[in-house]
Chain A
Amino acid sequence: MYKEIFCVYENKVTLIMRLFDSAQIPFDPANTDYQAYLRWLAKGNQPEPAEENQ
């Protein structure tokens, strides 16, 4: 399970939080945690939406 992280300084979602260990994953195609997230999305899953005060 994942959750989007909204960055107040960039005013957009910039990271994905992996909920089981609270790790923050960047949108970098070479990051293997991000690749795992994309595979999870491809199975029809959706992340929890971000809270804008993060």
Chain B
Amino acid sequence: MTNAVALAQGASNNVTFRNKIINGACVIDQRNAGASFTNSNAGIYGLDRWITYGVTSGLLTIQRSTTAPAGFINSQSVTITTSTTANDGAAVDQYIEGNNAYDLNWGTSSGSPVTVSFWVRSSVAGVYNYYVKYFGSSSSYYYITPYTISSANTWQYITLTISAPPSAAGAFTAALNTSYMDTRFVISSSGTTANGTANTWSTTAPNKIAGSVDLASNSGATFYITGVQLEAGTTASPFEYRQYGTELALCQRYYEKSYNIDVALATSTAEGLFDLFGSTDGSGNIVGYVKFSVAKRANPTMSYWTSAGTAGQITYARNGAGGSGTGTSYRLGTSSTGFYTSTGAAWVVSELNGHWAASAEL
């Protein structure tokens, strides 16, 4: 028995799939295929399963990076685009679904502690914060804990153990396909007064612990994470390398697209295009259907593009006319969707094609 297996069994009895973080190695990037993007103040999903928040839109540039420690090929990089000292809260989060975390029994007397481990690197050394929010049935509880990056621009391995929240939080009784916990790398929170108390569960949402680095005050500063693992127990086991196809399927429960995996959305390409031939109906609509590779967490938000990359449209061609029209979903479910567009002529042979993406993120 390997050391990893022994540690994992001791921690949670899960030899495999002990890591509750998906895409912890930051390899899968369906939306941007490695291209950089900037944050919005409402939060923006980039690398699969990871969402970046920033109070100020455009504050951060996020990218799948090839800067990585030994044993990894990618990380998630965050660069401060424009420095600010005013209310510059910024964070990278991953929400964990109830279906994948209920075994922790949080909010009960038998709640399990968890240990998070990760590789981190920043251009600014100092104290940073990691944060967990538990969506308890009685109240949401928050836990913030510090860690220290001792040398700038140097990869460092961190492990942090987080106790189970108190029973007062209440057992998780929400639908299991909703968020059980929010895990957060706090990047910056200057312009606000620190209200976090280290290593204590509280019903008050913490922004940071006093004395922590506010990275957004440093234009051009960089922050990288990879090898992120969150598991039951008080011991960090070695990072769980799942097979690529398995990790991709885990991501596709939350996001899937017709484009090839490393082709960005809205790219002009025929590869992966749905393309069907048939007749319009009596209303002049032509109808298509997509079966998702992986059933979604919830009925997904659908997006469509023409093969040339025009958003919201799908392309049709029929005898005497062609063009593009709004692609409208119908009978949308977790496993499939229909869609249609109007061609302007009833009962004529037509072709319909386009690209799609389905999002059911937490």
Cα(A8)–Cα(B331), bound, Å: 12
B335 close to chain A: CB less than 8 A: no
- Residues A31 and B326 in contact in the complex (CB < 8 Å), given A22-B311, A26-B332: no
Residues of B within 8 A of A (CB-CB), count: 28
Q: Which residues of the other chain, B, contact A7 by a CB distance below 8 angstroms?
A: 328, 330
Asked if B360 contacts A31 (CB within 8 A), the reply is yes
Asked if B328 contacts A54 (CB within 8 A), the reply is yes
Contact digits for A7-29, partner B, Cβ 8 Å, 1 yes 0 no: 11110001101100111111010
Closest to A27 in B: B299
Cα(A28)–Cα(B297), bound, Å: 11
User: How many residue-residue contacts, CB under 8 A, span A and B?
Assistant: 66
Asked if B302 contacts A24 (CB within 8 A), the reply is yes
Q: Min CB distance, B83 to chain A, in Å?
A: 27
Q: Which residues of the other chain, A, contact B256 by a CB distance below 8 angstroms?
A: none
Contact digits for B350-362, partner A, Cβ 8 Å, 1 yes 0 no: 0000000001111
A42 close to chain B: CB less than 8 A: no
A-B contact pairs, 22 of them (CB 8 A): A5-B328, A9-B331, A10-B331, A14-B330, A22-B311, A23-B301, A23-B303, A23-B359, A24-B301, A24-B302, A24-B303, A24-B304, A24-B328, A24-B332, A26-B301, A26-B332, A28-B298, A30-B177, A30-B297, A33-B301, A34-B301, A36-B42
List residues of chain A with CB under 8 Å of any chain B CB: 5, 7-10, 14-15, 17-18, 21-26, 28, 30-34, 36, 53-54
